[in-house]
């Protein structure tokens, strides 16, 4: 199973960004979610 850290590294974003996407916070733009 992939961790948030794994996803962030692969997507070249921070772990905070991955967390915001998972929790559907409005801080991440639609293009950032993709």
Could you give the CA distance from residue 7 to residue 33 in angstroms, rounded to a whole number? 12
Alpha helices in the chain (DSSP H): 4-11, 15-22, 30-33
The predicted pLDDT at position 13 comes to 94
The predicted pLDDT at position 27 comes to 74
Nearest to 5 by CA among 24, 22, 18: 18
Query: Which pLDDT tens digit goes with each residue over 5-30?
Result: 999 999 999 999 999 888 888 877 77
| pLDDT reading at 33 higher than 80 | no
Could you give the CA distance from residue 15 to residue 21 in angstroms, rounded to a whole number? 10
Centroid of chain to Cα 1: 16
Residue with the larger pLDDT of the pair 24 and 33:
24
Do 15 and 4 touch, CB atoms closer than 8 A?
A: yes
């Amino acid at each position: 199973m992939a961790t948030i850290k794994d996803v962030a590294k692969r997507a070249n974003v921070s772990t905070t960004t991955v967390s915001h996407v998972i929790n559907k916070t409005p801080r991440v733009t639609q293009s950032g979610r993709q």
